[in-house]
Each structure stands twice: as C-alpha cells, then as structure tokens.
Structure 1
Amino acid sequence: MHFGSIFVETLFGFFMLFIVAKILGKTQIKQLTAFDFISALILGELVGNALYDNEVGVSDIAFAVLLWGGLLYLTEQITQKFKGTRALLEGKPSIVIHKGKLQWKEMKKAKLDINQLLHLLRSKDAFSIREVDYAILETDGTVSVMKKTNYQMPNRHDFNLAPENVTLPFMLINDGEIIWDSLYEIGKDEEWLKEELQKQEINNFQEVFYAEYEKDKNLFVQGY
C-alpha cells in the first residue's frame, strides 16, 4: 500500500506540474529569471515533500500545486497588463559596460564582481574588456555583448590576411587591489605598475577599479 500510494502520488504530481508548466508557458531553464527559478523549486518541493508524508493525499497535492500555479499565473497576467510591474516582479537589465567603460555602481547593485563579469564576457568570445563597447546583464543572469567595431566581423580570414599571434590579457588590479599572481605572470613588478599608472595621472592603486595588461598594448585602466 505504501509503494502504491507513492506511485499514484508521483504520477499525479508529474501530470499536475506538467499541466501547470504548459499553462504558464515557462521558458527554457537557461532563460529563467530568479523568480521563475524559485517558483520551479517551490513546485518541486510541494510535490516531493508530499510523496513521503503519509498524511498528505492526492487532494492535498492538487490544492497546493493549483494554488501556487494560480499565483504564478496571476503574476504573469499582471506583468503582461501592467508594464510598470515588470521591473519589480521580473527585474530589469543593467548596463555594466557603457561605451567601453565599466559601470561599477551597476555592478555593485547586481552583486556582480569583476571575475564574474570576465567569465560572462569570455562566454561571448570577448576575452578583454577593451574589446567591448556595451555589455548588458540580463534578468536571467546572462550577458549580452556588443563589441567595438574593430573586433566585430568580418575577420582577418575574410580579407585573406595572415594570422597574428594571440595574446591573453591579464587583470592586474581589481577593485583597488593588485593581483600579484598576474603581475608575476607577465614578468613585471610593483614599480613598473606604478609607473604605468602615473602615465595616466593615477598615483594610488585604490583609485583604480580595473586594470588590464595585454602584450604590446597600453595598460587599460578604469577608475571609479
């Protein structure tokens, strides 16, 4: 009887969640907003916990899933009809790079540090911030990138040009702190870094939000 009850409740819960997901028109997992992600967890927990609680029956599962699904449906309808509620319920994109400059205030609001941003940029084939004109942090946590014209297609192959050596950029300063491992990796020391900053009229490391080194290029520096 115990296994039979679990079998029936599992099937019922599966079909209930399937129906609710179809009605709500959920997006793909990688496109879920934070609110959608939490909702998915709650729906799963409602069914999962009910399966192993002998005092909870099919009717209880149905009520909980339908209630939560109804609330989600109501939320979707509100955001569709009242545009002003979308920023509150769904969030809104944040411009984290604007005309090639890091927007550190927007990054702080989004709880996004420089390492996370660099990871997101690399996933868009942008290995250096200097390649990026605009970067927008979307509500689902991904980043949309518009590269500067010099780094956009067409590429060198389109013009039958010989390939060039590829160099990897290194982050040397992050939020006012020197990244010593990167500095040693490029074979430079603190004095060299100070001289490079002074060339750009910066006398203190703490004035620098982000600094990046790439071979045969000037030090890229972004202040606060």
Structure 2
Amino acid sequence: MPVWSRNITGNGVVVSIIDDGVDHTNMDLKRNFSWRQVCRGSGVGIAFNARIGGIRLLDGTVTHSMEATSLTFNDDFINVYVCCWGPRDDGQEMAGPGTLTQKALRLGTQKGRGGKGSIFVWASGNGGLVNDHCGADGYVNSVYSIAIGAVTHTGKPAFFGEPCPTVMAVTLTGANLGNTLPLVTVSNLGDGCVTHFAGTSSAAPIAAGILALVQEAK
C-alpha cells in the first residue's frame, strides 16, 4: 500500500506468462491484456496497471527451439517473463535448458528490454515432499533466471518447497498444512476467485508483480 500511495502501480511494464495459455477474457485481466487485476471481493492485484501477455508453449510437445523462441519473443516490448515449468518434480530427474534455450536466456539478459536485459522469473518447484532439490533443475539453477520459492503465513518454508542455493527470494502462498487463512486470492477461470493457491506457481507471479513495481519506480 505505501508503494501504491506513491502512484507506483506497474504502469508501463509488460509481464508475459509462458505457459499453456492465459484467460485473456477474464474480467480481471482483459483490460490489461493489451490489467485491471481486481478479483471480486478481494481488492487489487500487486501491479494492477501493468500490462499482461501470454505465450502458449506447454499445450503439446515442446522443443528447445520452441522454448528459445518463447523466451525471446518481443523482447524489446516485454519486461518480465514468468515461467512455472521445467523437469518433473519427482526427485529423480536432472534436466535443464538445451543449447538454444541457454543461448536465448543469455541473449535476453544481455540485449532484451531495450538493452537493459529481460527478466526471467522462474518458480523453484514443488517437489519437497519427495526430496527433490531445485539445484537439479537447470532452468531454476540458471544464472540468467530469478528463482522464486514459497513460504507460509508464518514465514516458514512451504511443505512442498525445494531447497537450493539458487533461490533468490520467496513470496507467500499460505501453504502450510492445515492452514485455512486465505492469504493468496487470485482470479480463476470463469470470472471466479481462488483463495488457496498453494505452490511456487503462485509465488513466482507474485514476485513478477513486485518486480513490475520496482521497474516503474526506477
């Protein structure tokens, strides 16, 4: 609220979600899809005047070339890319970006955003219950991405969180077992609201909204 009172609302910043799609007709998103981020009864979003975009990547077979293209798409226009995907969080797999994707991440941080560098926000993963470690995820562990973890309302690590040194920051998900506090309220399909969105897939977009505020403030 102190940031909003200074009229810092994400204005002029573009955030793009790389996933399987974005509900651009949602009443909370459609104005900003070219973002009023008001979920009925819940108040405003973090960067409610930022603009939002969607890059569809995960709705079928994904190649390294498709990843690279998504991560550099309109990189002079898009400020922040949000990614909540990677290798399976099963505690048994080590994987990361291929050569083309590595190159896209490097070039994006060097030349994107008009030479200031694209910002890649990555969810750190939800495999904590199976002892997965986000250091085994080459996307999260990349020097070019900002890895975001999740904490509960008490500030403790979420039960599903994956620990590793690459996690740069955490945000709230209200995800401790048995907690009923609606700490994260977000828009849902069909113009509804969800009051319990547990996972680093909710933590990373929250961080992206905060980064949008930071960029406007600069």
- The structure with the larger Rg is 1
TM range (shorter): under 0.3
What TM-score do you get using the length of structure 2 for normalisation?
0.24
Higher helix share: 1
Higher relative contact order (CA 8 A, sep 6+): 2
